[in-house]
Amino acid sequence: MKTVTEQVISEIRERILDGKYGPGAHLHEATLAADLGVSRTPIRDALRVLGNEDLLVYYPNRGYIVRSVELHDVLDAYDVRGTLEGLACRVIAERGLTEAQREGFAELIERGDTIFASPSWGQEEQSAWRALNSEFHYALLTASNNRHLEPIMRQIRFFPRIFDSRLDPQSEFFQNVHTREQRVRSHHDHMHIVEALIRGEGARVEALMREHVYANRELLRRAMEGSGTF
Amino acid sequence: MKTVTEQVISEIRERILDGKYGPGAHLHEATLAADLGVSRTPIRDALRVLGNEDLLVYYPNRGYIVRSVELHDVLDAYDVRGTLEGLACRVIAERGLTEAQREGFAELIERGDTIFASPSWGQEEQSAWRALNSEFHYALLTASNNRHLEPIMRQIRFFPRIFDSRLDPQSEFFQNVHTREQRVRSHHDHMHIVEALIRGEGARVEALMREHVYANRELLRRAMEGSGTF
DNA sequence: AAATTGCAGGTTGCATGCAAACTGTCGATT
DNA sequence: AATCGACAGTTTGCATGCAACCTGCAATTT
């Protein structure tokens, strides 16, 4: 991030995602400017960008308020994500993998094997897995060679984060979702997806990816409906 | 459109879509400001928004240039659109239509029947069909009740328009695509889609919608590759 | 001759001032 | 008593000034 405006965008976005600015909160330009130690101009630029990302709602001449995000919105985000990553997988399989791509995916799988080689599941393994998981999904978008997918995915992947921020890390949800067991299952999904990609099984890999994302969606849905917090 | 900034956004976007600012063209703030008779501030706001829409590419401290759009990008946009509208159709079918929705879609189909009742195909019928077609696809997004779909579709639907603007309306492409015959075919697709929706056939209606969009994609692809203009 | 550095011109980035629009309150009129 | 209207305060919208940065050219150095 080079310019002040970019930093302001990131900062305000983080505050929204972390829940510091709750749903419906009015973002006052002068207050934000004083708070962040910059003038109103970069603030206004940032609000416009975040409005485009659908994190804020714009009312002409009245400014921006934080969009309210319901469970419904997050589940819908998973639907879109699963569908589009399924598309990515299908076109990759139908086009066929290059040698470099095959090696790249094989290496990503190997790194997963390494993480799960030991039965421990501490902070280190968890953050390593999160990074690897992001890399894997991002690699698929890149390999699909469809330039529309990456910006779309960047937009919608914020919504689960907003929801996560509202949760207590000690809650039942975290206990059920972020377990080693669930991660191992995800890793196995990835293995099957890569195998299907290599074999060029387009329809199958699309279904596998959809189901892979859908599994996480359902995990969230059941945990939230069970807890009844929302 | 209320504020000056919104108007500037629309104006510059139209100019890009119409090809007045060609791929790679540098959009100079002061020049645009003088040209449109406003100050640099709304211009800068507009450029930022259009950058977010992926119509412009941003280089920090050096401004914005018009993104180059290849045939490849337009075909990819169709892939995304077909996939996401397929998703919309599937969830509508799986949830089941309300009485009001069923009547709404039936009315849209009837309006299509009316347009094609006469064998003439003049300006009037063509613009009536374009409006109806937009309404139909928009109604599906609304009925899906997935709030992510509408903004995504709004972004990617610009790309075909950029391509259209580069074409000569007298060209072979327009002769082949914008015929009454092709429109009738689209109308029949819509009828089948609505029938499948009503019957709750989720998987089938998803496939139908994908194929409906894909047919247009292939029409474009063959016409462009045949003409060899790009 | 090639490379590097300093300078000039021009463009974007940010701050600030002023105008326009909106909100809420108080008072007048019916 | 209720509704409508005017006014004050506040907030956003737009214009403009200045600073920072980037590019290209030319002169100097190696």
Question: In CATH, what number is assigned to the domain containing residue A176?
Answer: 1.20.120.530
What confidence tier does B3 reach under pLDDT thresholds 50, 70, 90? confident
Q: Looking at the DSSP assignment, which residues form a beta bridge with residue B64?
A: B27, B58
Average of per-residue pLDDT across A54-75: 94
How far apart, in whole angstroms, are the C-alpha atoms of residue A227 and residue A171? 9
pLDDT for A210 beyond 90: yes
Model confidence pLDDT, tens digit, residues A175-204: 667 789 999 999 999 999 999 999 999 999
Q: What are phi and psi of B171, to 5 degrees?
A: -70, 165
Residue B59 has pLDDT above 70, yes or no: yes
Nucleotides of C under 7 A from a protein CB: 11-17, 21-23
Q: What is the band of B230 on the pLDDT scale with cuts at 50, 70, 90?
A: very low
> Helices marked H in B118-227 — which ranges?
123-144, 149-156, 158-165, 172-177, 180-199, 202-227
Phi, psi of A65 (to 5 degrees): -125, 155
Please tell me the distance in Å from B128's CA to the nearest CA on chain A. 30
Cα–Cα distance for residue pair B57/B64, rounded to 1 Å: 5
pLDDT at residue A176, as a whole number: 65
Residue after which a domain boundary falls, among A46, A66, A86: A66
B122 confidence band (pLDDT: 50, 70, 90): confident
Percent of the residues in chain A that have a pLDDT greater than 70, as a whole number: 93
Amino acid (1-letter code) at residue B142: T
User: Above 60 in pLDDT, residue A206?
Assistant: yes
Q: Do B51 and B152 reside in the same domain of the chain?
A: no
CB pairs under 8 A between A and B: 77
Quick one: closest CA in A to B51, which residue? A49
Structural domain count, chain A: 2
* pLDDT above 60 (res A230): no
* Whether residue B88 sits in one domain with residue B20: no
User: Residue A179 has what pLDDT?
Assistant: 86
Which residue type is seen at A43? I
Residues A51 and A129 in one domain: no
Question: Does residue A125 sit in the same domain as residue A218?
Answer: yes
Query: Where a domain ends, among B50, B66, B82?
Result: B66
pLDDT at B165: 79
Whole-number percent of chain B with pLDDT over 70: 93
Q: Are residues A210 and A96 in the same domain?
A: yes
- Cα separations in angstroms, B97 against A152, A168, B142: 28, 37, 12
Q: Which nucleotide is nearest to A26 (CA to C1')?
A: D11
Q: Are residues A61 and A94 in the same domain?
A: no
Summary mean pLDDT of chain B: 92
The amino acid that residue B107 corresponds to is E
Nucleotide lying nearest to B58, CA to C1' measure? C12
Residues B104 and B127 in one domain: yes
pLDDT for residue A170? 66
Indicate the pLDDT class of residue A114, thresholds 50, 70 and 90: very high
Asked if residue B120 and residue B57 are part of one domain, the reply reads no
Q: What is the mean pLDDT of chain A?
A: 92
User: Per-residue pLDDT for A63 more than 80?
Assistant: yes
B107, with CB counted inside 10 A (0-12, 13-18, 19+), is: exposed
Query: In the predicted model, is pLDDT for residue A123 greater than 90?
Result: no
* Interfacial residues of A (vs B; Cβ cutoff 8 Å): 2-3, 6, 44-45, 48-49, 52-54, 60-61, 73, 76-77, 79-80, 83-84, 86-87, 91, 145-149, 151-152, 155-156, 159
Query: A88: domain range?
Result: 71-227
Nearest in space to A17 (alpha carbons), one of A150, A159, A156, A155: A159
Backbone φ and ψ of B48, nearest 5°: -65, -45
Give A144-174 pLDDT, tens digit per residue. 999 999 999 999 999 998 887 877 666 666 6
Please give the average per-residue pLDDT across A70-76, as a whole number: 94
Kindly report, residue by residue over A84-98, the tens digit of the pLDDT: 999 999 999 999 999
CA–C1' B26–D26 (A): 27
- Look at A35-44, A50-59, A170-179 and tell me which has the smallest mean pLDDT: A170-179
Contact flag B49-A45 (C-beta cutoff 8 Å): no
Same-domain status, B154 and B205:
yes
Name residue B38's amino acid: V
Residue B82 vs residue A220, higher pLDDT: B82
The one-letter amino acid code at A95 reads R
Which pLDDT belongs to residue A46?
96
Question: How far, rounded to the nearest angstrom, does the alpha carbon of residue B215 sit from its chain's CA centroid?
Answer: 15
Element (H, E) at B59: strand B56-59
Whether residues A51 and A75 fall in one domain: no
Last residue of a domain, one of A44, A66, A88: A66
**Residue B172 contacts residue B223 (beta carbons within 8 Å):** yes
Q: Where are the beta strands (DSSP E) in chain A?
A: 26-27, 56-59, 63-66
pLDDT in tens, B87-117: 999 999 999 999 999 999 999 999 999 999 9
Rg of chain A over all Cα atoms, to the nearest angstrom:
20
Would you say residue B212 has pLDDT above 70? yes
Q: Tell me the CATH number at B55.
A: 1.10.10.10
Considering the domain architecture, whether residues B211 and B189 belong to the same structural domain is answered as yes
Q: Any idea which of A217-221, B11-15, B132-136, B169-173 has the lowest mean pLDDT?
A: B169-173
Element (H, E) at B26: strand B26-27
Most confident of A118-127, A130-139, B117-126, B162-171: A130-139
Residues A9 and A122 occupy one common structural domain:
no
User: pLDDT digits over B130-185, tens only?
Assistant: 999 999 999 999 999 999 999 999 999 999 988 877 776 666 666 667 789 999 99
